[in-house]
């Protein structure tokens, strides 16, 4: 029987870039193109900043990159699981088998959009609420997560009215959904700010005012946002379709955007994320970027809040591989609709970048090399210096611990690290040093493995390997435990 022992962590910890004590690319907004090579310096870097030196130190251990496209939680392509409640009919339920097939195909996301046409003027029935609960529970069993949105209309024509429900009724729906949001916090990646307008995208609306400009015109949208942020667990973000809407709803200016100090906190600014459902589709992404400063705002904020969505049909001049890479890197994309738009996807396939884009959505951590020291005695210390790259476009967004596991295959000792892996930003690389206190229970002369372990933060999922992060290195991943073995040593 495996024995799990929590060990203490020594306070010595250092996170640096290879040259200047910072990640290799700073986050200053720029209108210049961004290199598709994640190791290249950001063009907005200060001229005095030297490029990273590789290798930045003498490796004791070198690692081989795994270039395959494998499953990792909370990132990648998503498959729509759209549910219609209309004309008195309940939607067809998903199954564990159908959701599990997504994992088998290398996907860890579904997109759960609930079209609740029958409930524009009344509360959700218990049958509807039970359906939603069961739908989310299936994700937990299948080992995947979901992006959630609610809407009252799936079109913007005259026959598609009503485009949304009155505010009072919508607030009642949010109140009814709050226990569900709380119960299934673990498998909800993000809740999109739907409800308003056609498709829940906030533009074509009957009840919230199209093209709001003043605080008064944003009032109803603000009430809904307040309700959603109260209903959705504080660990999860609520994503809006347009940067202008975030500023209008929250009453903020560009200078009030998320910073490294406020990131991942409980404030409304930190919790309101982004989605773009016409990515690389026009000069302004079909109205996504409405005023000067919108791009700069999302370039900065998406370091710390989720960005995803889908493309629209677009001329190749807007969605060729070079333009797409520049925008994926600049806006730190985590998730993308596999099913739409196929015309844009075909441009990427033709240009030879589709498979690489799929691999790099969200985070993708790869170790390049490492050095180890310390006395390696029972009750002693193990020192490590790691060179790690995030080849993905984005950071981890939802809270996730970093743990070190020392195991001989029978007994395992789990050590909590003070590192927040959300600080490993997309298209950056890092060198950091950490010293851990070795358990006194180690046996001299016995061989042990040191494993990097990035489990889910939720108690319901923390021991499930489907929800642990796999490094993009060959020969390190243990599918059964979710551990990544990075070093083997003999206790002195």
Q: Do 128 and 217 have their domain in common? A: yes
Give the pLDDT score at 55.
Answer: 81
Residue 288 neighbours by CB under 8 Å, 6+ apart: 241, 242, 243, 276, 278, 294
The domain that holds 135 is classified in CATH as 3.20.20.80
Q: What's the pLDDT band for 432 if we cut at 50, 70, 90?
A: confident
Residue-wise pLDDT tens digits, 15-41: 444 332 333 332 333 333 233 333 333
Q: Do 221 and 186 have their domain in common? A: yes
Give the pLDDT score at 344.
Answer: 97
Structural domain boundaries enclosing 151: 76-236
Name which residue leads in pLDDT, 218 or 56: 218
Residue-wise pLDDT tens digits, 68-90: 999 999 999 999 999 999 999 99
Q: Whose structure tokens read 């959009």?
A: 113
Which of 180, 207, 236 corresponds to the end of one domain? Answer: 236
Sign of the CA dihedral running 288, 292, 293, 296: positive
Q: Are the CB atoms for 190 and 147 separated by under 8 Å?
A: yes
Radius of gyration of the chain (CA): 23
**Distance in angstroms (rounded) separating the CA atoms of residues 315 and 320:** 9
Which of 236, 271, 303 corresponds to the end of one domain? Answer: 236
Q: Do 50 and 151 have their domain in common? A: no
Q: Do 17 and 155 have their domain in common? A: no
Q: Do 36 and 148 have their domain in common? A: no
- Average pLDDT of the chain is 90
Give the pLDDT score at 131.
Answer: 98
Q: Do 56 and 187 have their domain in common? A: no
**86 falls within a domain:** yes
Give the pLDDT score at 23.
Answer: 36
Give the pLDDT score at 21.
Answer: 32
Give the pLDDT score at 429.
Answer: 94
Flag whether the pTM goes above 0.95. Answer: no
Which of 217, 236, 255 corresponds to the end of one domain? Answer: 236
Q: Do 58 and 129 have their domain in common? A: no
Domain count, the chain: 2
Q: Do 121 and 228 have their domain in common? A: yes
**103 falls within a domain:** yes
Q: What's the pLDDT band for 346 if we cut at 50, 70, 90?
A: very high
**15 falls within a domain:** yes
Q: Do 414 and 474 have their domain in common? A: yes
**Distance in angstroms (rounded) separating the CA atoms of residues 349 and 49:** 36
Q: Are the CB atoms for 79 and 338 separated by under 8 Å?
A: yes
Instruction: Report the 10 Å Cβ neighbour count for 357.
Output: 19
Give the pLDDT score at 236.
Answer: 98
pLDDT at 291 over 60: yes
**85 falls within a domain:** yes
Q: Do 224 and 80 have their domain in common? A: yes
Q: How large a percentage of the chain has pLDDT more than 90?
A: 88
Q: What average pLDDT does the segment 175-204 reach?
A: 98
Sign of the CA dihedral running 281, 242, 34, 237: negative
Q: Do 180 and 146 have their domain in common? A: yes
């Amino acid at each position: 029987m495996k024995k799990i022992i929590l060990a203490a962590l020594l306070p010595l910890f250092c996170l640096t870039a290879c040259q200047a004590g910072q990640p290799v690319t700073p986050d200053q907004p720029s209108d210049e193109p961004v290199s598709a090579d994640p190791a290249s310096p950001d063009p907005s870097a200060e001229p005095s900043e030297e490029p990273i030196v590789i290798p930045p130190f003498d490796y004791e251990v070198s690692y081989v990159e795994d270039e395959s496209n494998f499953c990792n939680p909370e990132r990648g392509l998503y498959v729509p699981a759209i549910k219609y409640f209309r004309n008195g009919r309940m939607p067809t339920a998903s199954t564990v088998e159908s959701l599990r097939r997504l994992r088998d195909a290398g996907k860890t996301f579904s997109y759960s959009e609930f079209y609740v046409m029958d409930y524009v003027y009344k509360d959700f029935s218990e049958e509807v609420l039970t359906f939603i609960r069961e739908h989310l529970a299936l994700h937990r069993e299948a080992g995947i997560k979901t992006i959630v949105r609610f809407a009252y209309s799936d079109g913007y024509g005259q026959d598609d009215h009503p485009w949304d429900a009155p505010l009072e009724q919508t607030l009642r729906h949010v109140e009814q959904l709050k226990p569900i949001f709380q119960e299934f916090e673990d498998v909800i990646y993000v809740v999109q700010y739907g409800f308003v307008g056609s498709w829940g995208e906030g533009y074509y609306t009957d009840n919230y005012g199209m093209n709001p400009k003043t605080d008064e015109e944003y009032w109803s949208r603000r009430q809904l946002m307040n309700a959603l942020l109260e209903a959705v667990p504080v660990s999860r973000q609520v994503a809006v379709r347009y940067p202008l809407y975030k500023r209008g709803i929250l009453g903020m200016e560009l200078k009030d955007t998320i910073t490294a100090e406020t990131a991942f906190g409980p404030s409304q600014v930190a919790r309101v994320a982004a989605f773009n459902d016409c990515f690389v589709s026009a000069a302004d992404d079909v109205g996504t970027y409405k005023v000067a400063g919108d791009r700069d705002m999302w370039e900065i904020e998406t370091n710390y809040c989720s960005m995803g969505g889908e493309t629209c049909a677009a001329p190749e001049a807007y969605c060729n591989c070079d333009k797409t890479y520049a925008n994926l890197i600049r806006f730190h994309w985590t998730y993308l609709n596999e099913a739409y738009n196929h015309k844009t996807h075909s441009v990427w396939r033709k240009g030879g970048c589709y498979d690489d884009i799929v691999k790099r959505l969200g985070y993708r951590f790869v170790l390049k090399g490492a050095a180890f020291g310390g006395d390696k005695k029972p009750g002693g210390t193990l020192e490590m210096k790691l060179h790690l790259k995030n080849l993905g476009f984005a950071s981890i967004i939802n809270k996730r611990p970093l743990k070190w596991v020392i195991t001989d295959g029978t007994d395992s000792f789990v050590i909590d690290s003070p590192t927040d892996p959300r600080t490993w930003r997309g298209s950056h690389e890092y060198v950091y040093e950490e010293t851990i206190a070795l358990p006194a229970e180690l046996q001299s002369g016995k061989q042990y493995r040191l494993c990097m372990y990035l489990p889910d933060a939720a108690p319901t999922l923390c021991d499930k390997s489907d929800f642990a992060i796999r490094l993009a290195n060959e020969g390190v991943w243990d599918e059964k435990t979710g551990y990544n073995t990075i070093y083997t040593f003999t206790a002195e």
